[in-house]
Amino acid sequence: MANHTIAHDVYVPFLEKKGFLSWILTTDHKRIGILYLVSTSLFFLVAGIIALLMRFELLTPAPTLSIRIHTTYSSRCTAR
């Protein structure tokens, strides 16, 4: 039976530099892929929360806050 040794010193280049700026200004394809995954997940979560808020707003028959704000904005922008 052969003895296999596993190297524990694995070089991972995208974990080398630390800090927010190094993540934003990176050219490493692994970090860019992680940034894409994080940003799409974040936007999906925010859109889901906004969709839920719209559904909750439509549950009531009376005008709600966003409709009042929109009406006020429309009447002021179109006032002559």
Residue 78 lies in a domain: no
In a domain, 75, yes or no: no
Q: For residues 37 and 55, give the distance between their C-alpha atoms in angstroms, rounded to a whole number.
A: 27
**Domain around 36:** 23-60
Q: What is the pTM of this model?
A: 0.53
pLDDT digits (tens, 9 = 90+) for 35-45: 999 999 999 99
Q: How confident is the model at residue 25 (pLDDT cuts 50, 70, 90)?
A: confident
The answer to the question of residue 71 being in a domain is: no
* Position with higher pLDDT, 37 vs 68: 37
**64's tokens:** 């709600």
- In our burial notation (b when 16+ CB lie closer than 10 A, e otherwise), range 44-76 reads eeeeeeeeeeeeeeeeeeeeeeeeeeeeeeeee
Instruction: Tell me what pLDDT residue 65 has.
Output: 61
Among 41, 5, 70, 61, smallest CA distance to 33 is for 41
Asked if residue 16 belongs to a domain, the reply is no
